[in-house]
């Protein structure tokens, strides 16, 4: 991707600082970046996995990050750090806890309105971007010496590389785009390195799941599906107390347990959403 002179000067300042990190989501694209970094094909020696909570991340993602990616990174001289959102008292806060906290008026996930449109969300910002940002500042990133932050968006998802407004202490880069790599290339890179291909990374209750993903969860992970159904009920109890309309975890205007019976042949096609459009999730 081309940059103007101002961008190049800012990038040069960040490179002089030496702080180059990948925001690691635990999915296919960012795992391919891990392999490329281990092979010294890209210069990103630090990977940051912002865990939104062991009670919120999909268990398969946590397994891949901790039991596969972290060991691979350690063997190849890459620093992979797992970080979480901290409260002012130093304790950790998870997204699941936030969603169930009494008195919370704003729902941080993109819960679906009756017309299928996702509501506003703060989950990516609060539990991913800000968590990574705090780590960067604690490790020396400043407006004068910003860090380079790489995000795993591939060519076939170039629409997600929207050059979101970066913080003064960071400069966003897209290494896969610079290398012209697609998702299929990422899968090949991972398998050729002898690693299993990770599942798509997202919270298990994410409203951006496709209908097919919800059906699979009900079939293969009934305990997680039951928790998702319970979360939808909790959200709506809170919305009812505030005098707000019912909302849903799917775009079909139906409770989750009923929506999975939709049989529209174009359902999954239309349900394919970009997810967290900053690129910090689902990569």
| pLDDT attached to residue 275 | 52
| pLDDT attached to residue 105 | 82
pTM for the full model? Answer: 0.88
Q: How many CB atoms lie within 10 A of CB 185?
A: 17
Cα–Cα distance, 148 to 128 (Å, whole number):
16
Q: What are phi and psi of 118, to 5 degrees?
A: -75, 145
Q: How many CB atoms lie within 10 A of CB 68?
A: 16
CATH code, 5-201: 3.40.50.620
| pLDDT attached to residue 17 | 53
Cα–Cα distance, 240 to 93 (Å, whole number):
25
Q: Which residues contact 117 (CB under 8 A, 6 or more apart)?
A: 251
| pLDDT attached to residue 18 | 76
b/e sequence 110-137, b meaning 16+ C-beta within 10 Å:
bbbbeeeeeeebbbbebbbbebbbebbe
How confident is the prediction along the chain (283 residues), in pLDDT tens digits per residue?
Answer: 334 444 444 444 445 457 999 999 999 999 999 999 999 999 999 999 999 999 999 999 999 999 999 999 999 999 999 999 999 999 999 999 999 998 788 899 999 999 999 998 899 999 999 999 999 999 999 999 999 999 999 999 888 887 556 789 999 999 999 999 999 999 999 999 999 999 988 999 999 999 999 999 999 999 999 999 999 999 999 999 889 999 999 999 999 999 998 765 444 544 445 455 444 565 6
Question: Residue 142 is encoded by which pair of tokens?
Answer: 């400043």
């Amino acid at each position: 991707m081309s940059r103007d002179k101002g961008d190049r000067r800012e990038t040069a300042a960040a490179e002089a600082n030496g702080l180059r990190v990948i925001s690691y989501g635990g999915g296919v694209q960012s795992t391919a970046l891990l392999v490329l970094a281990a092979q010294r094909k890209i210069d990103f020696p630090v990977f940051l996995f912002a865990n939104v909570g062991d009670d919120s991340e999909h268990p398969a993602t946590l397994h891949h990050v901790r039991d596969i990616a972290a060991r691979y990174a350690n063997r190849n001289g890459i620093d992979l750090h797992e970080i979480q959102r901290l409260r002012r008292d130093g304790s950790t806060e998870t997204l699941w806890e936030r969603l169930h906290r009494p008195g919370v008026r704003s729902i941080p996930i993109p819960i679906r309105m009756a017309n299928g449109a996702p509501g506003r969300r703060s989950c990516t910002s609060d539990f991913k971007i800000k968590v990574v940002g705090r780590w960067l500042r604690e490790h020396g990133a400043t407006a004068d010496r910003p860090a380079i932050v790489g995000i795993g968006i591939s060519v076939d998802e170039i629409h997600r590389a929207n050059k979101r407004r970066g913080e003064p202490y960071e400069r966003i880069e897209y290494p896969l785009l610079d290398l012209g790599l697609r998702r299929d290339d990422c899968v090949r890179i991972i398998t050729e390195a002898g690693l299993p291909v990770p599942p798509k990374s997202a919270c298990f209750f994410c409203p951006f799941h496709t209908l097919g993903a919800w059906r699979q969860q009900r079939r293969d992970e009934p305990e997680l599906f039951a928790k998702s159904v319970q979360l939808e009920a909790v959200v709506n109890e809170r919305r009812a107390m505030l005098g707000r309309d019912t909302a849903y975890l799917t775009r079909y205007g139906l409770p989750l347990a009923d929506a999975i019976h939709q049989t529209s042949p174009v359902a999954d096609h239309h349900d394919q959403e970009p997810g967290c459009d900053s690129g910090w999730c689902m990569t």
